[in-house]
Structure 1
Amino acid sequence: MAASSIFMATPITLLKKTPTFSVKCMSQTPQSGEPEISKPATTPTPPKINIPPPPPPAPKVSTKFSDVLAFSGPAPERINGRLAMIGFVSAMAVELSSGQDVFTQIGNGGVAVFVGTSVVLTLASLVPLFKGVSVQSKSSGLMTSDAELWNGRVAMLGLVALAFTEYVKGSALV
């Protein structure tokens, strides 16, 4: 609803010979039947809000077999690290429970368990990579993709050190 302005001039007489005038401005809403006086349209300027630009899209992950399984690709070190983590924990658990060293465990049917575990873990690791899921996409907090790589590297070294120590010692470590 537009408001109209009525200007009323009221003379103020002073003792001087030159009269001065003051202007009073009042606004009132038009009554029914009175014409509405339109004011020039002014749109208020919206406040400027600094919105950060959206993050750049993640680079497209290659799903080619040769890229995923390349020497510097995402799969080989992760799969070997995961197998080493499982192998180290399993070897230590069996050694603590039965007293068998790593070489005895391998000779007593450990090869079949290793092959089965390797196939299942490799397939489980490759399926998301072939679907285009990045290795870094789900990592946050303590469980990052870098932490997994380092844990896998330490497990690989631990498994080799365990086998070497038992070979030199000639018996189980524990």
Structure 2
Amino acid sequence: MKTLASKTISTFCMALFFGTYHAQSTLFKNKNPYYSHTAENTLKVSNSEWKKILKPELYQVAREGATETAFTGKYYEFDEKGTYYCAVCGNPLFISTSKFATTCGWPSFYQPIRKNSVKYRKDTSYHMERTEVLCGRCDSHLGHVFDDGPKPTGKRFCMNSICLEFIPGKK
């Protein structure tokens, strides 16, 4: 049977651990000097520099063009109002009103927040011809776009959740 003192100590230790963990994760995020929700300058940062800044899972998808496993991303079945930003540089990418339900396994949008939010590149990997979607600010790989989306654009921007950061709001 735990005494009040041991419960208090346990609670204090957990708070200290999680507080330290939160402070470390916040500190880690703040180590990225290129991250901004308002900057519009194009970034020219080497992959060796990004590798020092980004978490390994994000680096692998965003900078090496990997794909997260279908149906596992945190935004796949996510339905809140707000804005999606590039997890690498903070560039605004999509608003929640352009997100739609799909069975492809990744969060999908029918249009970017503005024309220059994203860039496109031909992707012929895996013996397919697709259009890769890159962040318009930092050139990070976000996913691919397909011509099987809903109106009004007919596009399906199929994005990797790990490359997105969601900020709730009235969008």
* TM-score grouping bracket, smaller chain normalisation: under 0.3
Instruction: Provide the TM-score with structure 1 as the length reference.
Output: 0.22
Rg comparison, structure with higher value: 1
More helix by share: 1
